[in-house]
């Protein structure tokens, strides 16, 4: 459990079929703590989580991780993109969001279909969050882009993408947002110069 920026905590887990870190995030907001794609922390780390935890946001169908556990322990609502709801066949969804919605008064929803129909990213609005403002903006992505191999950006294996072409067409919209920090739920995050790195990565994809 680490506070990588003021009011932004992260912790991770690994799975045998994914050779990269799987990261969860806790964003401290005035109305409570919002978790993004959270795995369960180690037993010794539970007490380090900031509270009250009010909301769990899942960026896509494959990032349920341990979200139900946070609902059970803290009464947190589970929130997903509206177009992703049919993908969660065995998970109760408490609320949905769509393009442009603001979660917790600070997290702007970005729809990024292609990996799955309702994948979302989150832009921490600098106007509403001091750490985002002080660091040039913060963007959080689930599976739209991953940080693997370490130190580089990539896409998840193509067999896991519903529509690779649609994803490539969708990704350039993230450059409409101001960010210099890119927090990735899969792989290694980029804590400075992130927008330039994303721009260069998209050029290698031909988009």
Q: Is 107 exposed, middle or buried (0-12, 13-18, 19+ CB in 10 A)?
A: buried
Q: Is the pLDDT score of 13 beyond 80?
A: no
Distance CA 32, CA 206 (A): 40
**Lowest-confidence range among 101-105, 147-151, 175-179, 183-187?**
147-151
Reduced to 3 states, what is the DSSP secondary structure of residue 38? coil
**Lowest-confidence range among 6-15, 113-122, 138-147, 193-202?**
6-15
Do the Cβ atoms of 82 and 96 come closer than 8 Å?
A: yes
pLDDT in tens, 162-207: 999 999 999 999 999 999 999 999 999 999 999 999 999 999 999 8
Mean residue pLDDT across the chain: 95
Contacts for 204 with CB less than 8 Å, ≥ 6 apart: none
Beta-carbon neighbour count of residue 175 at 10 Å?
12
Domains and CATH numbers, the chain: 2-205 (3.60.15.10)
Distance CA 183, CA 201 (A): 16
Beta-carbon neighbour count of residue 193 at 10 Å?
12
Instruction: Kindly state the tokens that stand for 193.
Output: 């110069």
What is the pLDDT, as a whole number, of residue 149? Answer: 81
pLDDT in tens, 29-71: 999 999 999 999 999 999 999 999 999 999 999 999 999 999 9
Report in angstroms the alpha-carbon separations of 87 from 11, 60, 131, 172. Answer: 26, 8, 33, 24
Host H or E run for residue 28: strand 18-29
At residue 150 the predicted structure's pLDDT band, cuts being 50, 70 and 90, is confident
Nearest in space to 205 (alpha carbons), one of 169, 178, 152, 159? 169
């Amino acid at each position: 459990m680490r506070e990588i920026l003021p009011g932004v905590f992260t912790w991770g887990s690994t799975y045998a079929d994914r050779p990269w870190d799987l990261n969860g995030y806790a964003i401290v907001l005035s109305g409570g703590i919002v978790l993004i794609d959270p795995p369960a922390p180690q037993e010794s780390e539970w007490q380090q989580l900031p509270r009250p935890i009010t909301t769990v946001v899942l960026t896509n169908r494959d990032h349920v991780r341990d979200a139900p556990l946070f609902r059970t322990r803290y009464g947190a609502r589970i929130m997903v993109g509206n177009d992703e709801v049919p993908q969660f066949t065995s998970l109760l969804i408490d609320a949905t969001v769509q393009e442009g919605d603001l979660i917790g008064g600070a997290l702007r929803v970005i729809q990024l279909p292609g990996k799955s129909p309702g994948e979302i990213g989150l832009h921490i609005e600098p106007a509403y969050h001091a750490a985002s403002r002080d660091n040039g903006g913060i963007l959080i992505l689930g599976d739209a882009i991953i940080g693997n191999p370490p130190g580089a950006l990539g896409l998840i294996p193509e067999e896991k993408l519903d529509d690779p072409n649609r994803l490539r067409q969708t990704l350039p919209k993230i450059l409409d947002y101001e960010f210099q920090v890119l927090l990735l739920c899969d792989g290694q995050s980029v804590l400075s110069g992130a927008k330039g790195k994303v721009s260069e990565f998209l050029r290698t994809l031909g988009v």
